[in-house]
Structures are given as C-alpha cells and as structure tokens.
Structure 1
C-alpha cells in the first residue's frame, strides 16, 4: 500500500496515474539526462522498523515504490490491465484445478545487480525468508497461503499452497515476493539500512541523513534480464519535508515529476495552469481512507456505538470542505471501479441522520454522551489530516451524542501503538497490494490481519473469503464479496470515508507518464523518459 501499509497519504495528491500525456517510446532507453522525481513520502529506519527497504519488513507505499524498481518478482502487472504477466519467470501457472500448486520456470541467465547468479534457490529462499522473519508490521500475510516452496532444478520453482488461492499470482507481483540474493540477505534477520541487492531494471543507491533517506539514485542495471525497457538511464527520487518546498522545486525546474503528494489547494493551482511549464493529470484512483475501531475498547465495543457514528459522519462535507473534491465519498472497503463494489454503508445508513443515530443508542441502553478519542498521523498522511479529523470531531460533537478528543501521533509511534490496541478510533489509509477485491477485504479480517484488529467474523473468514479464492474468473466471486461488504457495514469494524482521485504533475518534456503507475498504483520509473515540449 499499500498498499501499501499499504498506507495511504491523506491529501488527494496521491500516487499518480495518468490518462493523457506524451507516450514513452518502446525503443531502447534514450538516456536524455537524469529525470528527477519528487515526493514527500518518508523512508525512515526506526527501532520497530530498522529495515525499511527489506521485503520482509517493508509494507508502505513509499518503500514499495522504491523496491518495485530495484527488485524482480516472478510475476508483475502489465502496462494496463490486471492480469499478471511473467517478470523474472519465463512462464508460470497453476498445474491443478484447485489452484493449490503453482509452478514457474525462470528466465535463463538471471543475475543480481552485484553479479551473483539468480536461481530457483534464491526464489525459494526469498519466499521462505519473509515467512520465517514474520515481521509484525510486514507483508507476510500476503504469503500466508504458502505451504512449502520447492526448487527441483536451477530454473524450476514449485509453490504448494495450503488452501486454494486464485489471487496468488497477483500476490507474487508485490514486493512481498521480491527476489533477494541468498548470499547477501540473512535467512532470519533483516537487511538493515537503505541498501538493496536485487535484480530489477535499476540499481539503487541511497543518500541519507540520520535515519532518513534524502535522495535515491536509480541507474539502469546492466545485469537485468527481463522485458522491461528503461526509457532513461538514470532517475533520482528526492524527498521533501513538505509539499510547499516540493512545489517550488517543480516550478523552478529542479524536479521533473511529482509522484506524491500535493495538497488540494496546490492541485487546484496546478490545474489552473498557474505554474509555467507544468501539466497536471487526473484519473480515478483505488486508494482509500477509513476509520478503524478497536472493537475491544469499552467506548466502541458495542456495535450500536459504531453504527451511530456511521449514521452521523458526513462524507460529502469532508470532500467538499477539506479535500476540495479531490476525492469521492466512499461507502465500502471495496472502492468504486473495482469488481464487486456496492455502496453497502449508504444502503445501510443513508445520508447523515442524527435522529436515527440517537435511536440506535437508546435501543442499546446507552445513555449520555459517548467519549471518543480520535487519533491520526499528520506526519504520514499530510496536513489535511488534521483538518479532516477536526471536521469529523465537529460533526460528531454537533450531534449531541459524542464528546471527542483529538491526538496527532508521530508515524513511527503510530503504527506500533495501533497494532498494540492503544487507540480507540483512528485514521488509516490503504493502497491496494494488487488490483482485486480480495485485497480490500482479506488484509483487514482474521487472526493475522494487517490492522491487528480484534474484530472477527466466522462467516467472512471461514466461508466467504475461502469461497472467493477458489474462483479463477474473479467476476464470478461478486456475490460473495457483496455479502462480505454488507456484513462489514452492519458490524462496522471500520468506517470507509473517501476514495482518492489520482494526480501527477510533470514538466512538459517528460514522456511515458501514462504508464508511470500500474493498476495497483505502483510507481514504474522505467516508463519515464525525456522528449520535447509540445
């Protein structure tokens, strides 16, 4: 995320997907000078997360954006569409009808950037390693259906699944399945710091200050074997402390592309053409924002309280007043534009209605105002997050049913504290790991869920999710996914708030921007090139 955490930025200047721009050539990389990409994402080593670019730990959109370009996976998503295609593999596929045994043949001549040979033993090592380390905030759940991995020959990999999983090829496109060098990485220890040893289209070198990355330099990998064709030999990613500083760098020509993340007011300025030589593009997005309820916390343990909150929150007002319509109200964990989406929360609660909220609380015997601590992280999700939670607080307090308090927590403290159940109600975001409705449901449900939420529902966990994963034709799983959405709307372990639009800003001579992200909003630096201004 997202996705990554798939963690989502709170402003609408989200990871960019472009629909109309000058297309990059399919010819060989043209060089054309270094392309500089700006972002306000933070890549930071902490006590709880000392290895932010290790596939066994990394699970946020900023880290995944880097890893996607420096590592290979067996499969990847295509330029357009959602069906995975081979990457480090020459071919892959299920060899049984139940989607429980997955076999891949690697490309010939694969090497890591350091010159070491890449074989099936490294693939097995990489998948086993993520599961063995089992980092608390890592992406291990994406590989939880693996029973065992075999490497019967240097180019053959056989992955046995413990349960049928038609989404498994998509999971193999994520950095959770990145192939690492078994001679460099520890079998059960994290690769600390900001270095990497991958086989992707680019090598990567980091510049850092203290425990934070300030710049990453990507150079075309001479050892890369695959079908990707970098359109420029060198790309830099520069990390800015705030969006205003990044906007100035874009206006001055110091950076060429803004990947993430501008505030709504900045997007309005760019769309109005107020920054010379810069174009901004908008498309629909699949990133979502939501509230999480600690269903064991006394204040929200009663379902009636969570349902009352669902009756009060005014998503339209949030989008209009805080985000300047750079997003859309969201009424399900599965966003619009994704197979199986239905507006379950709107169907259940309709437009904001304080009287209905009060009736639910009275029927449950809840008297007096419910005290609600609301927690968020401006550091991670941007300055609009504080405005968003101030607006949410006002909506809830104005109902006369709740008394709220607000707390902004540093991101390095936020994630561990949330996982320990220290927050009652808190804000999170999600970029999809892969473009399938499963990825908006399964990570949030069950014993090892991404949120470490205590919420459980046997119907979803034991029947509906397993049922959807047996269906290779994903549209045929729609009915079960819609049932899941209705159950979540009734139980309210989370409250979907809004769905992001996607934006990118680029200098006029930058090409390939329509392919700059794939269908899971993953950054693809190899598509960016430099042409001439229109």
Structure 2
C-alpha cells in the first residue's frame, strides 16, 4: 500500500473506530505497555500564569486536552460528531419551553478517583468557583449566562439561566464546567502547578522540570462511571520542543502516536507512505487562524487601517505558499462546515486589491505607509507560523501602503501579554470549545471575551447573540449569525485567515486512532488501544 493516509469525513462516527494498518510493526511492545503520545504543546507554570491546568483558568487546546481526560463534566461531546451526551449525568434536559431552565441528574454511585462520592453540591461548588475566580483567561465567560444553581438532594442540579441559550448543553461539556472535589481545590483561589483530581476516565501524574511539564501519565480510573469506554490501562503524553524532535521520536519508536502540531513537510512525507510502520490519519478540523487587533492602539485604531489590511491580504496565496492542501482560505470567523457560516469578508472585500485599500485609507485621511508590528507565537501553533507571518508581511509591504515588521514570542509569555493589550496586531488560533457557530463568535465579541478586546458592538452583544441562542434548531439562527459576521467584516476587530485540517500519525499496532481527536481538536486518549497489525 503506497498511500498511507486515511481520510476521514466530517462525521467520523459512521466509520469503524479502528485505523486500518498495513505492514508490520517493529515496536515490539506488548498489549500491557503504556501507549505513548507525543505533542508539541508546552505546559509552563509562570508568575503570570501559575495554574495552567486549573479548570477555572485553562483556556487553550493543550490544557483542555489534559483536563478532558481527568476532570469529568455533566455532558460530553460524543465519539464522532453530534449533540452532547450525558457523562457524569444520567440525564440532562431543558425543562421549560424557553431554554432557560436546565436540569441534570447525576449517575448513581458516581465517585471521585479517591473514592469519595460526587454530589450535586460538588457540581454547584465547582461551577460557582470558576465564576467567582473570574480568571484573566476569560474561560469563565462560557458560564456567565448562569443566574443561579440549585440542588435537589445529592443527585439533581438545576441551572437557571439569565437568557435563553440552546448552546448551554455544549458549555456544560467544557472543562471549565468540570466537577472538582472541594477538598482538593480552594473555592476562591486557583490551584497552582500541575496537580489535577477529578472523576474522569483517568488519574493524572505529572513529571515536571523547571516549572515545565515534561510528561503526563494517565492511568485508567477504576472509579470512573460515564459515557466512554476506556480501551487502555495507561497513556503517557510527552511534550516535545518542536515538530522535528517529535518526528524523530516516532521514527525511533519512542512514541506510538504523534499529534499536534506536525509541520507541513512532515505531513507531506507521511502522506507519501514512505514509512511502512507509521500511518497518517487526516481528519476534518475546525481550527481557524486569524489576526486580532487592539482597536484602542494608535496604529490600528482607525477602522480604515484594519479594513485596508483585509482588502490587501491574499488568503489563497498565503495558504498555497505555507500550508498547501492542509488548509483552506477562510472568509469568516465561522468555518465553512458549520451551520450559520457566511463568506462575509469575501462578500465585502472581494479579491485582494491594493487600489481599493488605498481608497479606504485616502478617504479616512490616513498617511501611508502605515507602520505597525505583527506579533506571533513561536511555539504554540506549529512550526510554519513564522513563515505564515513572513508571507503576510510581504503582502502588506508590497502594497506600498504598510510598513510592517514581525516579532515572535514564546507562548508562555505571549498569551499573557496579549491579554494585557501589549500587542497592536497579533496572530492567534482558535480551536472551538464546541462545534457551533456561537462558539466562533461570542468568545471574540461578547462581554468578557477571552481576547480582552476593547472592541464593543452593543448590537451584537445585546441583540444578535441572544437572538441566535434562542433557536434550538441552529439552522433557524442563521439570520442573526450572518448579521454578526457582516458586522465583523465591516469593523474588522479580527481578520480571519484560514481553517485547517487535522492529522494524527500512529504506528501500525495502535487502534482507535480515527477517534483520537474530535473536530474540536480534543484528544480522546481512551479510544487508543493496541492490536494486531494487518
């Protein structure tokens, strides 16, 4: 078999959950061995971010990929795609016609990993803790529509919402809504470092050096009761400094699975099928990349400057030069495969045009070239990020309308600097909390948005977002969602660039790889197992 890539459609739930393998494996591992997974995600405890994996703080894909294995939520995203399903809960549902009262009943006999019972009061305490702490990551914004939480006995929890929200079941599937043991966490303070305790599929032990997590060991939790079947006894997640080091590890057999983020060159090499022992799985993804703007910063405060950048940027060229077939141009914050998507930026700006951009700046009396710095993170979104920003810089500078420089910063410093407004223009990625258009719009535009953006659009906040959330049939929310996207294209508080596919590479004796990631880029380590190669 020459081509080793298994391409999965958006609804992977229709496929058999085993990666078809070809050729033998030289790993020599027995079925009792821990499965070792590599990642380039870094986990560092710093002065500004001392609690990187506390559910009340963590709001990046790497941290959530640790928490989803260990901290249980009432609801969870199912294997494949679809509406969230009960996990810690036995059942959950809206109990009114207006989507403002949501009731859940816990599974009977639910326990934390230490054997203590999980109660409705623990659920209430955990969610109220996140809302009370209000960490600067902004993750608590997912829960701010909760008005009050009441408990009825040990197993029933009722959420009273401020306004209708058909997406609330999805929000209860995110780690910020994770159920914590009050004896392990303080109610009004984050838990520093790398300790986690919960009732999820695995227990967790971190190996830490110089305040950095080197590896994480996930061991099957015998007390877990929930919706997933755990197909292994232990998984070790190892963090590598870059894609090259991770690639060497899988070549040597030091790791069994390679996840985000591989380089475009690595993906192309594996796609060619030159390694008989490693398969590449291509999956539909919802990752997006965009430029964010501090709309109070002098260099980009004028809307015309941001509009001119939107008019000049050539997404087709950017994707072609940097990512090839591994990404697609994106003309909205909402990916093309999500209900409610519109090509708002293309509808407004059409094809790239220096002449149109110049007219925008001239009409606003903006002196050219506009001087600004674009910032990017060097170690969080993959090794091609620097090249991406080099292409963007060249496009803008070649127009003669801009004088752009670029600057890269490690993620441990970058994320806190962005939240403090240190950057005028900055590159970010977004891996959705859940696969709904609301989650590609509200986190950027609503009150308490995670970017800490000074941009405020009261029509979006007070009218359009609430209107869209009233619609349980998400297709019926398209009108409001399209209006939000049109406003974003007009005001350009963010500039969408592309949406990407996602990939996992695995050695031939590893099964379940087709489900190792869901469309939101969430790791599902429980799906992995060892089996005979075919």
> TM-score, with normalisation over the residues of structure 2?
0.94
Distance in 2 separating the partners of 1:363 and 1:519: 43
Contact 1:331/1:346 (<8 A) preserved: yes
Indicate the residue corresponding to 1:326 in structure 2: 326
The residue aligned with 1:288 is 288
CA distance in 2, matches of 1:17, 1:70: 26
TM superposition shift of 1:18: 9.9
Q: How far apart, CA to CA, are the structure 2 residues paired with 1:472 and 1:227?
A: 24
Structure 2: distance between partners of 1:276 and 1:315: 35
Summarize deviations over 1:284-339 as a string: whole Å, max 9, x none.
21000000111111111111111111111111111111223311111000001001
User: Structure 1, residues 104-129: CA drift from partner, whole Å, max 9, x if none?
Assistant: 11001111001111101110110000
Partner of 2:426: 426
- Taking the TM superposition and a 5 Å limit, the aligned residue runs for 1:303-382 are 303-382=303-382
- Which residue of structure 1 aligns with residue 174 of structure 2? 174
Alpha-carbon separation, structure 2, partners of 1:433 and 1:82: 14
How far apart are the structure 2 equivalents of 1:246 and 1:423?
Answer: 31
| 1:155 positional shift | 0.5
Aligned residue number for residue 9 of structure 1: none
Structure 2, unaligned runs of 5 or more: 1-8, 20-29
1:482-529 deviations in Å (ceiling 9; x for gaps): 111111111111100010111111111111112212342211111111
Structure-2 residue corresponding to 1:79: 79
Asked whether the 8 Å contact 2:126–2:180 carries over to 1, the reply is: yes
> Which residue of 23, 27, 33 corresponds with 2:17?
23
Q: SS in structure 1 opposite 2:37?
A: strand
Work out whether residues 52 and 193 of structure 1, in 8 Å CA contact, stay in contact via their aligned partners in 2.
yes
Aligned position for 2:131:
131
Residue 7 (structure 1) aligns with: none
For the pair 1:251 / 2:270, whether they are aligned, the reply is no
Measure, in 1, the Cα distance between the counterparts of 2:194 and 2:15.
33
SS of alignment partner, residue 325 of structure 1: helix
* 8 A Cα contact 1:31 1:233, kept in partner: no
Distance 2:102 2:462 in 1: 23
Q: Aligned to 1:187, what secondary structure does the other structure show?
A: coil
Please name the residue that 2:99 is paired with. Answer: 99
Could you say what secondary structure the match of 2:45 adopts? Answer: coil
Note the 1:122-201 alignment, pairs <5 A: 122-201=122-201
Q: Do the aligned partners of 2:377 and 2:411 also contact (CA within 8 Å) in 1?
A: yes
Secondary structure of the corresponding residue to residue 356 of structure 1 = helix
Aligned partners of 1:47, 1:464: CA distance in 2, in Å?
38
- 2:23 corresponds to: none
Instruction: Report SS of the residue matched to 1:66.
Output: helix
Please state how far the C-alpha of 1:231 moved relative to its aligned partner.
Answer: 0.7
Q: CA deviation at 1:22?
A: 6.6
Could you tell me whether the CA contact under 8 Å between 2:377 and 2:408 is conserved in 1? yes
Segment of structure 1 superposing worse, 58-67 or 408-417: 408-417
Tell me what 1:302 maps to.
302
Matched residue, 1:13:
none
Q: Which residue of 2 aligns with 1:10?
A: none
Displacement of 1:17 in angstroms is 8.7
Provide, for residues 352-399 of structure 1, a one-character-per-residue CA deviation record: whole Å limited to 9, x for no partner.
110111111111122331111111111222331111111111111100
Q: How many residues align?
A: 515
Instruction: Give the match for residue 11 of structure 1.
Output: none
Aligned residue number for residue 516 of structure 2 = 516
SS at 1:285's partner residue? Answer: strand
Checking the alignment, whether the CA contact within 8 Å between 1:33 and 1:232 is kept in structure 2 is: no
Which digits, 9 at most, give the CA deviation of each residue in 1:82-121, with x for residues without a partner? Answer: 2111000001111111111111110011110011111011
CA distance in 2, matches of 1:327, 1:290: 13
**Does the CA contact (< 8 Å) of 1:289 and 1:497 recur in 2?**
yes
Q: Is the 8 A contact 2:285 2:520 kept in 1?
A: no
2:225 corresponds to 1:225: yes
SS at match of 1:380: coil
User: 125-134 or 41-50, which moves further after superposition?
Assistant: 41-50
Aligned to 2:111: 111
For residues 254-305 of structure 1, what are the alpha-carbon distances to aligned partners after superposition, in whole Å with 9 as ceiling and x for unaligned? 1111111110011111101122300112122100000011111111111111
Partner of 1:496: 496
Q: Name the structure, 1 or 2, with higher relative contact order (CA <8 Å, separation 6+).
A: 1
Counterpart Cα distance in 2 of 1:342 and 1:203 = 42
Equivalent position SS for 1:123: helix
Q: Which structure 1 residue ranges, 5 or more long, are not aligned? A: 1-15
Contact 2:242/2:383 (8 A) holds in 1: no
Please, what is the CA RMSD of the aligned residues?
1.7
TM-score (norm 1): 0.94
d(CA) in 1 for partners of 2:486 and 2:15?
A: 39
Name the residue aligned to 1:5: none
* Contact 1:293–1:300 (8 Å) recurs in 2: yes
Q: Report what 2:3 is aligned to.
A: none
SS of the aligned residue for 1:443 comes to: helix
Give the Cα–Cα distance (whole angstroms) in 2 for the partners of residues 333 and 44 of structure 1.
29
Partner of 1:12: none
